[in-house]
Structure 1
Amino acid sequence: MDGYPRQTPISLNDPIVLDVKPLRSLAPMFPAPLGFHTFSPPSGPSFVCVTPFGSFTSPSEFGYSSGFCPLYPNSAPQDLNQKPVDPVSFKSRNGAAHAGQGPNVNGFPGSAYYSPPFSTPPKMVTPLNGKSPLFSRPASASGRKVKEPLHLSGYETGSSEMPKTEGKKVKHKRPKKVDSDLSTLTSSSHDPWESVEVILMTFDAIRRRIMQLDEARDVKQRQDLKAGTVMMNNDLRANKAKRIGQVPGVGVGDIFYFRIEMCLVGLNSQTIAGIDYMTARFGDEEDPVALCIISAGVYENTEDDVDVLIYSGQGSSSKDDQKLERGNLALERSLHRANEIRVIRSVKDFGSLTGKIYIYDGLYKIHESWVEKAKSGFNVFKYKLIREPGQPDGIAVWKLAEKWRENASSRGKVILPDISSGMESRPVCLVNEVDDEKGPNHFIYSTKVNYLSPITSLRPLQGCMCSSVCLPGDANCSCAQQNGGDLPYSANGILVSRKPLIYECNNSCCCSVNCRNRLTQKGIQLHFEVFKTSERGWGLRCWDPIRAGTFICEYTGEIIDKIRVDEDGEEDEYMFQTMHADQTFRWNYGPELLGDPSCVDLREKSKPLSIIISAKNMGNISRFMNHSCSPNVFWQPVLYDHGDDEYPHIMFFAIKHIPPMTELTYDYGLIGAQDGYAIGSNFQSRKNKKCLCGSSKCRGSFCQILSKSYE
């Protein structure tokens, strides 16, 4: 199915190549359509992903199996002299760390790793600089076939115990495929950036939906692993070929909240171990070489320097010396081969008590290795990696932003320390690192929308009777029922999926201000800065990492019924108007992937909203968000202080994970053949304006509202 012969027998169903079609066109003002698809070079070998150590789910009603679909590595190394479609692609034999069943896995008692066999043990040499070296000459790998890893379906749901295998054969279930037509959800693309983006967005959309379902059932499970199962079972992955060096579609500075995300895009194939490696052929020789390492704070690594990483080897050092095998051996051989290694650093996720954020920091090379005693008294391997020059900043940006969050006065080139004058919960810096301009045109900063008529004249919203907070799964919560039966936000304040309209709790509700369904009413909770761009005026970016589904801000300004006629006849560059609220746009969530029926008629369209907001004279940080044909932010209608669905609040949320200091953009929209749209009794004129977003999917222009009206 994948265009190349298998090297080892596979006990699973062969991956299905989907004959896919693109999503239908979305209405103006919404982000470009995104679908589900995979990207893999025609001649690339299978992507290697390992099974997580332990079971995590078995709810068959969701349409996914009880564990990951293990994909086995191939038995033969790849000759580096070949030139396949990928710049450098390999067929891995022992690069994956396999979690096995029983007391002995691949010859190592209780080990979850496979150690490459060598015909002769490494020879130690005399140290030259007082440090213990590794060994002097590489040993060639034998041709013994790799034992396929066992499935983990023998685990009981919610149990951490190993299945009993003595005296009987453990039966393993095949992964369950989604029995539905995905042709309306998927699209194929040869653009690796688009492929990786859609894979990550699809995974997170599924994960958020599973989290919503689990919260309603009061089930505490690993939703990331459940979502990974769905993705694997449907072969929704990118970059299936292992490779040395950069991974197509993954950029330096990209962030990941789960290790399975990195597996799905081919950045790193390990879900547990910190070293991803493989056996590769260098001319007539074979060597295990490291492909990627994750510095996740498990070992005593030194990360003070943004360009240097002192990395500790793998293996327990609390009871015994580390051994020169598996990943440690691959790192030593990478020192000899001088191959590039992808480095992923981690930081604490401030939004989670136990979570981490993984940052891809680019390519490094090992310059030195030695052995030293750890605090436990046992020997550990140490490797000094130095970052390759000429790459974009990765962890360096994080360290700067972290410094600014702790002390905003340390930010340089600041024109104004707080453009909101204290109206926001956190100061919004005004920064210019481009030229001598002292700031944008004068406007009144406002955190609220200004209605022409008093808010009391609008229809009130129905309130819930929840005594403390609205709880997921509560059939008596009227606010949940207005939102289709589910609360729209997760427990950690993340939007689950986009809806035509979200109903938040209001003043008529009995629940407290701490209710999760009052998310956007609390205002912005991130550290923003307004900055001068090189050619697009002023823009907006954030010092914090932003998770997909995070609330950004509201579009505030003056709500008007018609476009005012300006004496100068110029365009209003701060005008926001919804063109068509397309109900089929659900932020890349496909219920078919979870075995749920689609709840939206693809032919159904909703009428345009009547609301028009001008932030020319008054507004907040949202007025500085520029247009992009590949946006990272989208808008969502929300009601909470009245019940008139023609005049909702316009709230912005993150489409995907956004690293610190990344410009925030949304899609202004693109007009078609007609020159304007009928709104009430006034005819509003619009025109296309040249787009400078620089995206690979740039349409060349975006929609701009004219300030003239025609009676």
Structure 2
Amino acid sequence: MDKSLYPTEAELLKSFDDDHNQIEGTSSPTPLMDTPFLMDITESGGVSDEAHNTTIPFPPMDSSFLTDIPFPEFGGVNDETQNATAYVPRMNTPLLMDIPFSESGSVSDETHNTATPLPVMVMPVQTITPFNDSNKDFLPSDAGPSIGVIKKGRGRPKGSKNVKGSRKKQKTYAANSRVVISNPNFNSGIMEAEKKNGNQEVVDLVLMRFESLRRRLCQLNCGKSVLTTALTNCRNLGVRTNTRKRIGPVPGVEVGDIFYFWGEMCLVGLHMQMVAGIDYLTVKDGATEGPIATSVVTSGHYSDETEEIESLVYTGHGGTDKNGQAVDQKLVRGNLALEASKNKGNEVRVIRGEEDPNDKKKKIYIYDGLYIVSDYWTAIGKSGFEEYKFKLVRKPGQPFGYMNWKSAERWRKCSSDNSRKGLILADISQGREASSPVPLVNEIDENNKETPGDFSYGNSQLFMSRTLDLHHRSIGCSDCYGRPCSIHEDPKCYCIMKNGGESPYLDQILVYRKPMVYECGDSCACLLECKLRITQNYLKIRVEVFKTEKCGWGLRSLEPIRAGTFICEFTGMRKIIEEVEEDDEYVFDTSRFFNPFRWNCEPELVGEDCWEQVSEVYNIKSRLLISARRNGNVSRFMNHSCSPNVMWQPIESEENREPCIRIAFFAMRHIPPLTELRYDYGMSQEVEEEDGTKVSKGSKICLCDSEKCRGSFS
């Protein structure tokens, strides 16, 4: 094998303290490297983006000498990242790494100079226990994790302005920072090969764990450092993938995928730069050497012309000096990389930043596929100084990305029956969904005006028969009269205490899957707009019923859906098994076998003890059967998938002073507009194979076409 493919160690850089004084006898943790990649490509060293005047820090590594430095915002995306802190070690030993740098100059988390344990996949948890006589009582596992303060270590002493090589007093970490420097016992479940080159399953896992960590940190009131801490902990503990930078597509990232935070793109290798909008590699091609662009992000900092679907005029970076004064942009770093990409004709990934329709102050990033830089020029910008303009043209034959976003945006504003292709009904709910109408669309056959079978639209549960619990004592929260329940205003609120002393929701997002989520009911004195009544307020998002190619009618959203967002309740007729018709295909049955998966935050990711993990085993006293055959809402149109993007959660609240369990659907991950919403129907039977293993099987053939398709369902 050609040994030139391996990284070679070079001369160590000199080490300096925080005041730029050289420290004698101490080497920098960043050796000069020469690592070939593709066309003898190595990544360029850390840079400071002129547009932000921000120096990108190295991620923390396991070391006993630590200090804190300002961590930059994620491209100015979210104010939560201001005044955040990251931690940088000083090391006395050289590092030998495989592609150790990102464009921000960051060091790969894969190398900590510690022994790497053998990769062992994280054991999944069971999502539901089918009802039987041995588990009919409630489990004491619905309490949330402790929110007690954890202790942190001390930082690396800083240098002094007066004495060369002197040390200042050590600085302790903030008690509520929740930054995890290292955890030798933590196993990310991601193999070393998958960290360099991922796949869709690993990408979904990384994004799901980052989002669960972010939700938990918000619940712990970590303030503005939430995003920085979540990103830092994921990088430190190896929850990342596609660390090997590349030109072209990124394994596991699909065209049209959306990202709510800049850091999410970094963790999955779509765009490595922490702040700058242009990411690039340094290419060694014969005697010439220079940067070449890999991806660009439009985020509104410049006057980018982004309205065109198949092309983009991108404004280069820079144009601001150290004092914040406007100057001419220069053909250096990212600008030089785009100019080189125009000459070489290589593919450049384009991510478009768009305003979040549900939060005008924030952005959502849409991966729009591969583009080619076709031209560039200079022009006078709004500041009166020269700017570089780069025209990028989208390669044909790719799935829709930004086009779907703009189409959904247009259809959300559509009010005319004749302005939508294939529109059959403007509102299948007939006004019963107060938030918005639910269109019925057939784009496959525009001439076919057939509507779904005979059913009545209803957004609440009905009962054929109901057994009253004579021992139930109706108790609701009484101290919240005339206001929403709040753990800050009334930590002893009865409904909050039932949820383990923590609210199950944060900013209308589900924080944890739990054995049971308890919401306020008609015995409570709080407002109907209470934060503990999220699933009782019907549809919150714009959806439509549409004709699919193979699975009849389906349901999709007209707007982006954030992970943990409530979508709808499964409504219909509550029945017992004797009342269910044999050919009823619209039955939700909690006794089925469901594929296990982990959705909650792992305590180790936030520095908590592993025993504080919230149980994800649903605890339902008796079998729950709901039929939407003759009465139901939009949930009856959701199809099955073995790789779902929607999950269900049991909710208990009081109705007519009686406890009532309902089934609520939440987004399992971020869902782009016009993506079909699907959940796992489960399996009706469990069969033992010849080797003794038990396999769940269903009675219907599955057509979900996912890589993890089980072949049957229900």
Q: TM-score, normalised on structure 2?
A: 0.73
Residue 479 to residue 150, structure 1, CA distance change in 2 (3 Å):
same
Is the 2:503–2:532 Cα contact (8 Å) retained in structure 1? Answer: yes
- For residue 476 of structure 2, the aligned residue among 455, 458, 463 is 463
Q: How far has the Cα of 1:271 moved from its partner?
A: 1.8
Deviations along 1:630-685, whole A, 9 cap, x unmatched?
0000001112224999851100000000000000000011244359xxxxxxxxx9
Deviations 1:153-177 (A, max 9, x none): xxxx9xxxxx996446677999844
8 A Cα contact 2:426 2:440, kept in partner: yes
The answer to whether the 8 A contact 1:689-1:701 is kept is yes
Corresponding residue number in structure 1 for 2:206:
199
Alpha-carbon contact 1:74-1:91 (below 8 Å) kept: no
Residues 554 and 164 of structure 1, relative CA distance in 2, 3 Å threshold: farther
- Confirm or deny: 8 A CA contact 2:650 2:663 kept in the other structure: yes
Change beyond 3 A, Cα 1:572–1:182: farther
Does the 8 A contact of 1:73 with 1:94 survive in 2? no
Q: Percent identity?
A: 42
Q: Counterpart of 1:351 in structure 2: which amino acid?
A: N
Q: 1:495 aligned to 2:510?
A: yes
| AA matched with 1:251 | E
Alpha-carbon deviations, 1:6-51, whole Å to 9, x = none? 757999xxxxxxxxxxxxxxxxxxxxxxxxxxxxxxxxxxxxxxxx
Counterpart of 1:201, as a letter, is M
For residues 221-620 of structure 1, the aligned pairs below 5 Å read: 221-316=224-319, 319-409=326-416, 410-424=419-433, 425-435=435-445, 436=448, 438-453=450-465, 459=472, 461-464=474-477, 465-467=479-481, 468-473=483-488, 474-490=490-506, 492-564=507-579, 566=581, 571-579=583-591, 587-597=599-609, 598-599=611-612, 606=619, 609-620=622-633
Secondary structure of the structure 2 residue equivalent to 1:652: strand
The Cα offsets for residues 474-513 of structure 1, whole Å up to 9 and x where unpaired, read as 42111111011110111x2111111111111122222222
- In terms of mean alpha carbon deviation, does 375-384 or 594-603 score higher? 594-603
What is aligned with 1:701?
712
Q: Match of 2:383, SS?
A: coil
Kept in 1: contact 2:455–2:632 (CA 8 A): yes
8 Å CA contact 1:579–1:608 kept in 2: the answer is no
**1:180-208 deviation digits (Å, cap 9, x = unpaired):** 7445x736596600000000000000100
Structure 1 residues 658 and 466, CA gap change in structure 2 (3 angstroms): same
- Per the alignment, residue 128 of structure 2 pairs with none
The 1-side partners of 2:386 and 2:243 are apart by 36
- Distance in 2 (CA, whole Å) between partners of 1:428 and 1:71 is 58
The equivalent of 1:690 in structure 2 is 701
Q: Distance in 2 between matches of 1:105 and 1:572?
A: 59
Report the alpha carbon displacement of residue 698 of structure 1 after superposing the two structures with TM.
Answer: 0.6
Sort the Cα spacing of 1:649 and 1:661 in 2 relative to 1 into closer, same or farther, 3 A: same
**Deviation of 1:452 (Å):** 2.9
- In 1, distance between residues paired with 2:511 and 2:71? 38
1:412-442 CA distances to partner (integer Å, 9 max, x unpaired)?
A: 1011110000001211111111232612111
Amino acid at match of 2:43: S
Cα distance in 1 between the residues matched to 2:249 and 2:704: 25
Task: Choose from 75, 100, 106 the match for 2:33.
Answer: 75
Q: Which amino acid aligns with 1:700?
A: G
One-letter identity of the residue aligned with 1:265:
V
Q: RMSD of the TM alignment (CA)?
A: 3.8
| CA distance 1:355–1:311, change in 2 (3 Å) | same
User: How big is the shift at 1:272?
Assistant: 1.1
CA distance in 2, matches of 1:420, 1:573: 21
Residue of structure 2 equivalent to 1:56:
none
Q: Structure 1 residues 81, 606: CA separation in 2 closer, same or farther (over 3 Å shift)?
A: same
- Change beyond 3 A, Cα 1:601–1:650: closer
Distance 1:104 1:595, change over 3 A: closer
Structure 2 counterpart of 1:160 = none
- Measured after TM superposition, the shift of residue 375 of structure 1 is 1.6
Q: Is the 8 A contact 2:350 2:369 kept in 1?
A: yes
The residue aligned with 1:130 is none
Alignment partners' CA distance in 1, 2:411 and 2:56 = 48
Q: 2: distance between equivalents of 1:186 and 1:356?
A: 31
Q: Which runs of 5+ in 2 are unaligned?
A: 14-27, 58-69, 74-102, 109-151, 153-157, 174-178, 689-695
Query: Residue 637 of structure 1 corresponds to which residue in structure 2?
Result: 650
More strand by share: 2
2:683 maps to 1:670: yes
Deviation at residue 72 of structure 1 after TM alignment: 6.3
Paired residues of 1:346 and 1:359 also in contact (CA < 8 A): yes
Q: Secondary structure at the match of 1:251?
A: coil
Q: Matched residues in 2 for 1:665 and 1:195: separation?
A: 20
2:11, 2:518 → 1: CA distance? 53
Tell me which amino acid in the other structure corresponds to 1:621: V
Rounded Cα–Cα distance in structure 2 between residues aligned with 1:263 and 1:103: 17
Which letter maps to 1:466?
A: C
Asked if the contact 1:583/1:604 (under 8 Å) is kept, the reply is no
**What count of residue pairs does the alignment treat as equivalent?**
572
Assess, with a 3 A threshold, how the Cα gap between structure 1 residues 96 and 616 changes in structure 2: closer, same or farther: farther
Q: Per-residue deviation at 1:453?
A: 4.2
Partner of 2:671: 658
Q: CA deviation at 1:408?
A: 3.8
SS for the counterpart of 2:368 is strand
Q: 8 Å contact 1:455–1:642 — kept in the other structure?
A: no
User: Residue 114 of structure 2 corresponds to which residue in structure 1?
Assistant: none
Q: Is the 8 A contact 2:571 2:628 kept in 1?
A: yes
Between the aligned partners of 1:641 and 1:602, the Cα distance in structure 2 is 23
Q: Secondary structure at the match of 2:579?
A: coil
Distance in 1 between residues matched to 2:462 and 2:712, nearest whole Å: 30
Is the deviation greater in 522-531 or in 408-417? 408-417
Conservation of the 8 A alpha-carbon contact between 2:312 and 2:391: yes
Ranges in structure 1 where 5+ consecutive residues have no aligned partner: 12-69, 83-89, 114-145, 152-156, 158-162, 676-684, 704-711
Distance in 2 (CA, whole Å) between partners of 1:10 and 1:583 is 51
- SS class of match (1:322): coil
Amino acid in structure 1 at the alignment position of 2:627: S
Q: Which is further off, 496-505 or 657-666?
A: 496-505
CA displacement, residues 131-169 of structure 1 (integer Å, 9 cap, x when unaligned): xxxxxxxxxxxxxxx997799xxxxx9xxxxx9964466
Q: How far apart are 1:610 and its partner, in Å?
A: 2.1
Structure 1 residues 605 and 418, CA gap change in structure 2 (3 angstroms)? closer
Q: Deviations over 1:331-358 (max 9, x none)?
A: 1111111111111101111222421100
**What is the CA–CA distance in structure 1 between the aligned matches of 2:10 and 2:700, rounded to whole Å?**
56
